[in-house]
Amino acid sequence: MKKIYGVIGDPIEHSLSPIMHNAAFRKLGINGVYHAFRVSSENVASAILGAKALDFGGLNVTIPLKERALDVADADPIAKKIGAVNTLDFKDEIIGYNTDGIGAKRALEKHNIDVADKSVLILGSGGAARAIAFQFAQDGATLVIANRTLFRAVGLAREVRAMGEGDAIGIGLEDLPPLIKKADILVNSTSVGMLPYTDKTLVTSDQMHPGLVVFDVVYNPLETRLLREAKKAGAIAIDGVDMLVHQGAESFKIWTSQNAPIDVMGDAVRCALRC
**Selection from 215, 214, 208 nearest residue 241 by Cα:** 215
For residues 224-246, give the mean pLDDT. 97
Task: Kindly state whether residues 224 and 247 are assigned to the same domain.
Answer: no
pLDDT level of residue 1 (50, 70, 90 thresholds): confident
What is the C-alpha to C-alpha distance for residues 249 and 103, in angstroms, rounded to an integer?
9
Average pLDDT over residues 95-124: 97
175 with 248, same domain?
no
Catalytic residue among 52, 66, 182, 232: 66
Same domain for 138 and 262, yes or no, is: no
Task: Measure the CA–CA gap between 180 and 144, rounded to whole angstroms.
Answer: 10
pLDDT of residue 85: 94
- Same structural domain for residues 205 and 267? no
Query: Is 101's pLDDT higher than 70?
Result: yes
Cα maximum dimension of the chain: 57
Q: Which residues fall within 8 angstroms of residue 67, CB to CB, at 6 or more apart?
A: 83, 84, 85, 126, 127
pLDDT at 137 (0 to 100): 95
> What's the pLDDT at 71?
93
Asked whether residue 196 carries a pLDDT value surpassing 90, the answer given is: no
Shared domain for 86 and 107, answered yes or no, is no
Measured N-to-C along each axis, helices 17-28 and 262-274 cross at an angle, to the nearest 10 degrees, of 140
Task: At 93, give phi and psi (nearest 5°).
Answer: -85, 180
How many Å apart are CA 51 and CA 5, to the nearest integer? 9
Cα–Cα distance measured from residue 246 to residue 103, given in angstroms and rounded to the nearest whole number: 5
pLDDT at 63 over 90: no
Q: Are residues 76 and 190 in the same domain?
A: no
Q: Are residues 115 and 220 in the same domain?
A: yes
Give the CATH number of the domain where residue 41 resides.
3.40.50.10860
Letter for the amino acid at 52?
K
In the predicted structure, residue 116 carries a pLDDT above the cut 70: yes
Q: How many domains does the chain have?
A: 2
Confidence at residue 165, expressed as pLDDT on a 0 to 100 scale: 67
Q: Which of 170, 76, 83 is nearest to 123 (CA)?
A: 170
The whole-model pTM stands at 0.91
136 and 186 share one domain: yes
Q: Give yes or no: residues 109 and 91 share one domain.
A: no
Q: What is the CATH classification number for the domain harbouring 142?
A: 3.40.50.720
The helix/strand/coil state of 26 is helix
User: What pLDDT, in 10s, does the model give residues 136-172?
Assistant: 999 999 999 999 999 999 999 999 999 876 799 999 9
Q: Is 66 a catalytic residue?
A: yes
Mean pLDDT, rounded, for 94-108? 97
Residues 66 and 118 in one domain: no
Domain that holds residue 259: 3-98+242-274
Q: Quick one: 214 and 176 in the same domain?
A: yes
